[in-house]
Structures are given as structure tokens and as C-alpha cells.
Amino acid sequence: MVDPLVFNIQNYSLNDGPGIRTIVFLKGCPMRCRWCCNPESQKYNIEMSYTRKNCIGEEECGFCKRSCHQKAITFDEEGKAKIEKSLCTDCLSCTKVCPAMAMKQQGKPMEISEIIDQVLRQELFYHHGEGGLTVSGGEPLSHGDWLIRLLKEAKKHRLHTAIETCGYASYEVLKEVINYLDVIFFDIKSMNDEKHKRYTGKSNQIILDNFKQLVQDAKTTKITARTPVIPGFNDTVEELEEIQRFVAKGKNVSYEMLPYHRFGKGKYEMLGRTYPMGDVLLSEEIKTYIQKQNEKWRKKECQS
């Protein structure tokens, strides 16, 4: 299988594992969650994104239009570039000539050694509280063999390792990966299979089965189950209680709910897509419930 593309390496993260983390974001995911805050991670191939506010206009530039062999680029009444996505082939010629970086390449191939070198540049910060490497996406488990090679290399340098996963993958891959993991963040989005299919494009059966098996097999890897709480999908006390009962069956499993946000909405516009969730919001009652339940789970973890 072709090695994955990296679309971002983020330093100094405090939310994706213990301590200060460096997060490596990979492209490619088998699911299509409607609320996905990283839409540039979904496809496995390189893409072009366009940030309109950065465009300096046709009069002062116009290089992108002249470079486009598909004639997919025109200019609007304000002189800003406009892209006809049905004509664009993501050839990236415009990204090579755009001086304002309004048009950018999303995703690039990187050698494992190159990634580890970047991660190790932050090594000084990792010694203060188990910091280290977190691999996210996209879906890291979609790149099983490559991911294992990366984690093995990280362990040679005694790096603390974590991944964030939707859990939709071959269990054989997951079972091998945990041999090189200190922490795994595993999404449990819904116990309702039909609803799960409707909002993510995939059944939850593989995910739930993988989680149950993972709890049995992960002897030294810390498991944190996560539920993104999404308006109209799983934002009821009944559904969230059902998820928590399922998670609580596993011994020594941490849990947290992640309230819905719209931070990724602008990225859809940059990719020429429509944001599927519209303007929906969580109710204040559910926000309060999330806060209280997260505190209960934190106390439970401290007592165990």
C-alpha cells in the first residue's frame, strides 16, 4: 500500500495525550462524519485548498488563472479568484505560483525518518509530564503497516506514543499497533447502528467489536474512549448514558465527551465543499450534562 500523506504536524498540543504533544495528522479516513472538523483529512490523495481572503486579486497577480490548464479559475466582481471545482483536477499548478499562499497543497509525502526528526526537535518539552508523539488523521489505522513502522521508530527514541482512532479498522492491525502505544483515544460515537451509518457512512459493529476486544488485549496501553456529542445525532441523555454503560464494562478505561464545535466550518469553504451540519448548536442543558459527566469520569479515574 502507498505510504500516507501528512497534511499537518502540530507542535505544543495539550489536548491529545499527556504532557506537551506533537501531533502528526495523516490524510485518509474510511468514514465521512458530517461534523468532521478536518475535512482536508478525509481523502487519501493530495488536494488543493483556497482561502479567498488571502487572494491579492487579478490586477496585482492573476498567476493562478494563467497557470490553470483546465480553465477552472476565473475572478469575481471583487477581483478575487473563483474556482470551478467540477473542472479542477487538483493538479496543483496554481499552488506553485500563488505568492499569497491563498491556494495551498493539502497533504505531502514524508519519510518516517523525516517525521521523527521533526518530533525530536521538541524533545526538551516532552520530559515535563510524559509528552510525546500523537498520530491523528484522518484515520491512522488505515495505514497499518506504515503506522507500525513509525511507532517502532518512535519507541527506539523512547518517545511516549498515542493515536486517535475512529476504531473502524482490521482488528489484526489494531492488535499489532497497541504493542507500540502508550495511549489510545478510541471514539464511540453511537450505539445505534442505523444512525451511525446515516451520520458517518459506516456501521458501528466493527468499531464496537474492536473496542471490546481491545479492552481485553491492551495490557499496558491506556485506553480513553471518547464521544463527540453532536446535535441531532447523539445529544440526548438517554443515548449518552447508553454509550457510558457500554464503556464502563471495560476495566481501567477512561472516558470523556467532546462537545460539538464548528471550528472546521471554514475548511469546507476552502475545499469548495458545503458544511453538512449547517448552523445547529448543542443545548445548554446538554453542555451542562457533558461538563458534569466528564468531571465524574475524571474523579473515577483518579480513584482507580
pLDDT in tens, 131-184: 999 999 999 999 999 999 999 999 999 999 999 999 999 999 999 999 999 999
Question: Residue 65, Cβ neighbours under 10 Å: how many?
Answer: 17
Report the pLDDT averaged over residues 91-115.
97
- Measured at the CA of 121, the angle between CA 10 and CA 113, to 5 degrees, comes to 85
Phi, psi of 133 (to 5 degrees): -100, 130
Pairwise CA distance, residues 237 & 230, whole Å: 12
Judge whether residue 1 has pLDDT over 70.
no
**pLDDT single digits (tens) 18-59:** 999 999 999 999 999 999 999 999 999 999 999 999 999 999
Spatial contact of 43 and 27, defined as CB atoms under 8 Å apart = yes
pLDDT of residue 31: 98
Which residues does 226 contact at the CB level (< 8 Å), separation at least 6? 185, 186, 187, 188, 255, 256, 257, 258
Nearest C-alpha neighbor of 55 from the set 81, 76, 73: 81
pLDDT of residue 283: 98
pLDDT of residue 156: 97
- DSSP secondary structure, 77-105, as one string: TTS-EEE-TTT-----HHHHH-TT--EEE
Phi, psi of 120 (to 5 degrees): -70, -20
Report the pLDDT averaged over residues 269-294.
97
Distance between start and end Cα atoms, the chain = 42
pLDDT of residue 125: 87
Spatial contact of 148 and 4, defined as CB atoms under 8 Å apart = no
Instruction: State whether the Cα torsion 267-264-129-150 is positive or negative.
Output: negative
Spatial contact of 180 and 165, defined as CB atoms under 8 Å apart = no
**pLDDT single digits (tens) 182-213:** 999 999 999 999 999 999 999 999 999 999 99
Query: What burial class does residue 21 get, using C-beta atoms within 10 Å of its C-beta: 0-12 exposed, 13-18 middle, 19+ buried?
Result: buried
**pLDDT single digits (tens) 80-90:** 999 999 999 99
Which residues does 159 contact at the CB level (< 8 Å), separation at least 6? 119, 120, 123, 126, 132, 133
User: Among residues of the chain, what percentage have pLDDT more than 90?
Assistant: 94
Domains of the chain: 5-44+108-303 (3.20.20.70), 52-106 (3.30.70.20)
Spatial contact of 104 and 51, defined as CB atoms under 8 Å apart = yes
pLDDT of residue 40: 98
Judge whether residue 103 has pLDDT over 90.
yes
For the chain, the average pLDDT equals 96
Pairwise CA distance, residues 284 & 108, whole Å: 40
Note the pTM of the prediction, 2 decimals.
0.95
